[in-house]
Amino acid sequence: MNKQIEVTEENQVVKDRAKQAYKEGFVTDIESFTIPPGLDEETIKLISSKKDEPAWLLDYRLDAFRQWQKMDTPEWAKLKIPAIDFQAISYYSSPNANNENAPKSLDEVDPKLIETYDKLGVPLHERERLAGVAVDVVFDSVSVGTTFKAELKKVGVIFSSFSEAVQDHPELVKKYLGSVVPARDNYFAALNAAVFSDGSFVYIPKGVRCPMELSTYFRINAINTGQFERTLIVAEDDSYVSYLEGCTAPMRDENQLHAAVVELVAMDNAKIKYSTVQNWYPGDEEGNGGIYNFVTKRGNCQGKNSKISWTQVETGSAITWKYPSCILRGDNSSGEFYSVALTNNHQQADTGTKMIHLGKNTKSTVISKGISVGKSQNAYRGLVRVAKKADHARNFTQCDSLLIGKSCAAHTFPYTESANMTAQLEHEATTSKISEDQLNYCLQRGITEEDAISLIVDGFCKEVFKELPMEFAVEAKALLDISLEGAIG
């Protein structure tokens, strides 16, 4: 699929896509090496040895595992989380049957995988040639290929799978792994630290503006497998990077677990823009199946004037538990969180952000758009904390909820804690329904009810969509339309 065409013919592509249900729901029939279900120290040693990891990393994992065993599942979120049997899950699955070495270049990648990504609209070769977006592709537990590596290397940017980074840049990984999200941070972060399999690693050296968008595409394929990826992005002084993340999974009746950790570090004047379009399989109309998505994402604005911006469009997963956050440590640093979370049928989402103001003149902006359809539950949970020394910290939070139908619900839980008198915190919240008047107005102009709803929802999400890179914005719109299906009547 040619992305350039998609952009100009935006509307048509959106319409065509809207006709399809969860089109990413297919299974790739590929031989894979999957370790048996179960989790104990032996499992972790096996994962670590598969990856030929240094001893310090195995110790890190084992330490995290021991912490995790002492922890309980968090229960504060407005979610009904069924008990998860961690012994029934396989913690490692790799698509290369012999499981020797990961392919070195795209030409070595199994054609079936290339086909899978073509079907998903992530044509590896094409992307490489046309779109100018570098992609790291993670299939189940391993990275199957990273594009544009050589070009990036010329300017000093490191973009590779996490496993490769452990081999090639152990000093960087060792320095930053767990520096933003410590292993014991929370239940799912601890689990991830123990069993994480792969993910992406990005390092932008001092003064470099990354010449292209970097992206990772996560795909769960194997049955009864969890995905536990780990992403680490470090931006040195005066650097810039924009990073995109997309995810899909097959339609299965069983629930599958996804517990990821993302850590960002921004030094003086560095800017990191992190965008996610999350489209894990949400389960069927009755609420069977779907991904349980428990993610810890956190950015450390370590340097002065640094900036971290999170943009997320969450349409998938049966359960979403996710709070991309910013620690505003450097003076004058700023954090942003732009979010669209749409839930339909029996989906549940509890998502939001934490903005922790530690430095002086730090600034944060939170724009959250929750859309609830069907019987779904959608909660925004946000914390703005201003520390004693954070003079003149400012936050603006806007939380809008849109309800479509009568059986869904939206909830807003804004928390603020300020220890500094000079803080300026502003909070706005609205809840609205798509009004009959708006629908009628569209109908009178000839727009069908389905298209009218999608138009109104698009408009509702505008402030967030405009933060996304163009290609992603088109995709996000298409996804919303698909997710809105059955919203009428």
Partner 1 sequence: MLKIENVFANAGDKEILKGLSLEVKPGEVHAIMGPNGAGKSTLGNLLAGMPYVQPQGGSVQYMGKDLLSLEPEERAAIGVFLAFQYPVEIPGVNNMYFLRTALNAQRKYRGEDAMDSAQFLRMVKQKIKDMNMRDDLLKRPVNVGFSGGEKKRNEVFQMGVLEPKLAILDETDSGLDIDALKIVADGVNQLRSADRSFIIITHYQRLLDYIEPDFVHVLADGKIVKSGDKNLALELEEQGYGWLNN
Residues in contact with partner 1 by the rule CB under 8 A: 8-9, 11-12, 435-438, 440-449, 451, 455-456, 458-463
Question: Measured from the CB atom, is 165 or 456 closer to partner 1?
Answer: 456
Question: Measured from the CB atom, is 58 or 442 closer to partner 1?
Answer: 442
**Dihedrals φ, ψ of 367, to 5°?**
-120, 115
Question: Measured from the CB atom, is 268 or 400 closer to partner 1?
Answer: 400
To 5 degrees, how large is the angle CA 323–CA 296–CA 349?
45
To 5 degrees, how large is the angle CA 415–CA 417–CA 423?
115
Q: Tell me the closest approach of the beta carbon of residue 344 to partner 1, in angstroms.
A: 20
Residue 399's identity, in one-letter code, is: C
Question: Measured from the CB atom, is 8 or 98 closer to partner 1?
Answer: 8
Question: Measured from the CB atom, is 85 or 437 closer to partner 1?
Answer: 437
d(CA 458, CA 366): 19
CB of 293 within 8 A of CB of 280?
Answer: yes
Provide the 3-class DSSP secondary structure of residue 100.
coil
Tokens representing 282 are 């949400």
Q: Tell me the closest approach of the beta carbon of residue 481 to partner 1, in angstroms.
A: 12
Question: Measured from the CB atom, is 165 or 404 closer to partner 1?
Answer: 404
Provide the 3-class DSSP secondary structure of residue 9.
coil
Q: Tell me the closest approach of the beta carbon of residue 343 to partner 1, in angstroms.
A: 20
Question: Measured from the CB atom, is 128 or 458 closer to partner 1?
Answer: 458
Nearest Cα to 410, choosing from 401, 399, 419? 401
d(CA 132, CA 211): 9
- How many DSSP H helices and E strands does the chain contain? 13, 22
Q: How far is CA 58 from CA 141, 154, 179, 227, in A?
A: 17, 32, 17, 19
CB of 404 within 8 A of CB of 487?
Answer: yes
d(CA 159, CA 149): 6
Neighbours of 30 (CB within 10 A): 18
Q: Tell me the closest approach of the beta carbon of residue 445 to partner 1, in angstroms.
A: 4
Q: Tell me the closest approach of the beta carbon of residue 23 to partner 1, in angstroms.
A: 22
Q: Tell me the closest approach of the beta carbon of residue 461 to partner 1, in angstroms.
A: 7
Q: Tell me the closest approach of the beta carbon of residue 474 to partner 1, in angstroms.
A: 13
CB of 158 within 8 A of CB of 203?
Answer: yes
Question: Measured from the CB atom, is 9 or 118 closer to partner 1?
Answer: 9
Q: Tell me the closest approach of the beta carbon of residue 334 to partner 1, in angstroms.
A: 24
Question: Measured from the CB atom, is 35 or 447 closer to partner 1?
Answer: 447
**What distance separates the 2 farthest-apart alpha carbons in the chain?**
68
- Cβ-count burial of 8 within 10 angstroms (0-12 exposed, 13-18 middle, 19+ buried)? exposed
β-sheet with 240-248: strand ranges across: 142-146, 133-139, 213-219, 240-248, 271-278, 307-314, 334-343, 363-373, 394-404, 424-433
Q: Tell me the closest approach of the beta carbon of residue 68 to partner 1, in angstroms.
A: 43
Q: Tell me the closest approach of the beta carbon of residue 313 to partner 1, in angstroms.
A: 15
Question: Measured from the CB atom, is 281 or 460 closer to partner 1?
Answer: 460
